[in-house]
A and B are shown apart, each in its own frame.
Chain A
Amino acid sequence: MNQDGPRRLLLAQVSPGAELPELSYPVTATTVVLGAMASRDWRPMHHDKDFARDRNGTSDIFLNTPSLAAWFERFVTDWTGPYGRIRRVAFRMLGSIFPGDTMVFRGVVTALGTDGTGCGWADVDVSVSVDGEAKTTCRASVALPVDESDNPWTRRGDRWQPQGP
């Protein structure tokens, strides 16, 4: 923790159409296997190239969905800082990501608001692409502090409404 405490992105500092800082990452077999093992996904298409090719019809092993979810979370919270509390995520898998690919995460703020409990939120459309082709998209909603004294993580019970708006 620095002297000023952890970074706190406030709702008022965000505008619709704002872009999240881009993240580019070269994927290796280690990236795929590490993500699969970290998420306890033992299925062979995420570590066995022959299986992936023969049974899934893909060219190589590929990133699993829980690992991609962790990548999306990291991308969003790199932007918000630790006070950002993800409310919900919706992924759409369009294509696989393989060793040798460079995956590029981009995001844009699509909507902002405050719910009936006073919780600030921002919706962001995020995508990960390879060579300009979207491989997975993610529509995420993240709670943001409305001022310096607010902390979305303290919300519980009826004061936490992650399913909407």
Chain B
Amino acid sequence: MSLPVDTAAIDRMIGIGQYEEEGEFPVERGYIWTTCSSVENGNPLFWDDEVAEQITGGPIAPPTMVSVWFRPHHWAPDRATAGLPLQVHFDLKTAFGLPEAVMSENTIVFYEPVRPGDRLTTRQILRSVSGEKTTRLGTGRFWVIDVDYRNQRSERVAVESYTGFGYRRAAGS
């Protein structure tokens, strides 16, 4: 089936910073320990304050946790529905009428370490949208979205790039 396409509206989104927002809570050690525990990461930087002081000048968060700090609470008292992380991804699903989506690639470049107490800010930037393609999952489009992360001193801590595939499953699958 053909997909509804408003390419002009999508083109206007490309390269524009959107959804600039601060994380809902400061970086904190509970999530750092829970994450390390979930993958059995015994790196002493995260468990031994003496080592952290010696090597990183105090505690830091595992670099790959950077996206954790901006995922919204599942529920909050001032919100009627659950928040959606990576909102541009969901905007594209809606714009193209694609009910399903997966992430196929993810790149992260790390800059300043993230530390407990940091308040991170993110900005989402749509980089590209492909033409219609068919994969084993279904028919849809690939898109690339960058997320720029900065701390409360406006220092860049990471740039993350996601390649998503929004799709409609083939009939009968």
Binding site for B on A (CB under 8 A): 1, 5-6, 25, 31, 34-35, 37-42, 55-57, 65-67, 69-74, 77-78, 82-83, 85-93, 151, 153-154, 156, 160, 162-163
Residues 63-78 of chain B, each 1 if its beta carbon lies under 8 Å from chain A, else 0: 1110110010010000
A-B contact pairs, 21 of them (CB 8 A): A1-B51, A1-B54, A6-B44, A35-B39, A37-B34, A37-B38, A39-B65, A57-B173, A70-B38, A70-B62, A74-B36, A74-B43, A78-B42, A82-B51, A82-B55, A89-B106, A89-B108, A93-B102, A93-B104, A156-B112, A160-B111
A69 to B62, CA, bound (A): 10
Answer yes or no: B21 CB below 8 A from chain A CBs: no
Measured CA separation A71–B62 after assembly (Å): 11
Q: Is B112 a contact partner of A88 (Cβ separation < 8 A)? A: no
Query: Once bound together, how far apart are the Cα atoms of A65 and B82, in whole Å?
Result: 20
B50 within 8 Å of A (CB atoms): yes
Contact status of A38 and B35, CB under 8 A, knowing A70-B65, A74-B41, A162-B109? yes
Q: How far is the CA of A93 from the CA of B103 in the complex (A)?
A: 7
| A74 with B56, Cβ < 8 A, contacts A88-B110, A92-B104 known | no
Q: Verify if B169 is at the interface (C-beta below 8 Å from A).
A: yes
Cβ-neighbour of B56 out of A39, A90, A153 (below 8 A) = A153
Q: Which label, helix, strand, loop or mixed, suits the secondary structure of the A interface?
A: mixed
Complex: how many Å from CA A143 to CA B126?
Answer: 29
Interface residues of B (CB under 8 A from A): 31, 34-45, 48, 50-51, 54-57, 62-65, 67-68, 71, 74, 82, 85, 100, 102-113, 137, 169, 173
Q: Using Cβ atoms and an 8 Å threshold, which residues of chain B touch A162?
A: 109-111
B50 near A71 with CB under 8 A, answer: no
Would you call the interface of chain B mostly helix, strand, loop, or mixed?
mixed
Instruction: Decide: A65 near B103, CB < 8 A? Known: A1-B50, A42-B74, A88-B109.
Output: yes
What residues of chain A lie closer than 8 Å to B37, measured between beta carbons?
34, 38
Shortest distance between the CB of B38 and any CB in chain A (Å): 4
Residues of the A chain whose Cβ atoms lie less than 8 Å from the Cβ of B63:
73, 86
Q: Which chain B residue shows the least CB distance to A82?
A: B45
Kindly list chain A residues whose C-beta atoms are within 8 Å of the C-beta of B106. 65, 69, 89-91, 93
Cα(A16)–Cα(B26), bound, Å: 40
Q: How far is the CA of A110 from the CA of B103 in the complex (A)?
A: 26
User: Hey, which chain B residues are within 8 Å of A72, CB to CB?
Assistant: 64
The 7 A-B pairs at the shortest CB distance, nearest first, are namely A40-B71, A74-B41, A69-B64, A38-B38, A90-B107, A88-B109, A73-B64
